Amino acid sequence: MLLHSRGLLHGRALLHSNSVVSAIVSGWQLSGITTWRSGGGLGAIGGSCTLPNAGSCYASYAPGFSGPVQTAAYGSGNLIGGTTAAYLAAAAFQNPAAYTYGNTPRTFAYALRGPTYFNQNLSLRRQFAIYKERVKMIIQADSINPFNDVSFSNPATSISSSTFGKITSQANTPRDLQFSARITF
């Protein structure tokens, strides 16, 4: 700890001895927003209805199904095309019997949750005095998702769809950078 403190003091002395380096390196402000959400409960699992004027119906639980409903095979990064890995097992559900609404609940069938969500945004800012503290220049760099982490959207939940149980989109945006400069006087 003592060696670290001496090195830190030596670095500060070097910074103060060179005013150009001090003017460039000091005074930066870093701020950020981090969002993390556990997977939210999946909504209704939809099925095809044979009821007249009923609109949509819920799917029914498949009797005798005993495998895992939620798979861990998603997240390969391939969200486009027919090779997308399944997040939900289609065999766990079936269309409701004729003239019934289906027996799955509105939410949390099999206690299913969507993928977790994680995103960060960072901003770096510095203000420079140009002329006698009256004229100032502010430069700023903003980054949305600077580490380009991928958070997946919920899977399709209609058993009539060819993409049922598959995650086909990204919930957050890819990396985005923005730079700005402003002069105030």
| Dihedral angle over CA of 35, 38, 44, 45, nearest 10 | 120
With tokens 């003592």, the residue in question is: 2
What predicted TM-score, i.e. pTM, was given to this entire model?
0.69
Looking at the predicted structure, is the pLDDT value of residue 6 above 50?
no
Provide the token pair at 161: 């769809």
- What is the arithmetic mean of pLDDT over 76-88? 70
Looking at the predicted structure, is the pLDDT value of residue 82 above 80?
no
Non-local (6+) Cβ contacts of 178 within 8 A are 141, 142, 143
Please state, for a pLDDT cut of 70, what percent of the chain lies above it. Answer: 83
Helix (H) or strand (E) holding 128, with range, is strand 117-131
Residue type, 143: S
Non-local (6+) Cβ contacts of 111 within 8 A are 41
The model's pLDDT over 97-146, given as tens digits with 9 standing for 90+, comes to 888 888 999 888 888 888 888 999 999 999 888 877 789 999 999 999 99
Provide the token pair at 35: 């969002």
The whole-number pLDDT of residue 17 equals: 64
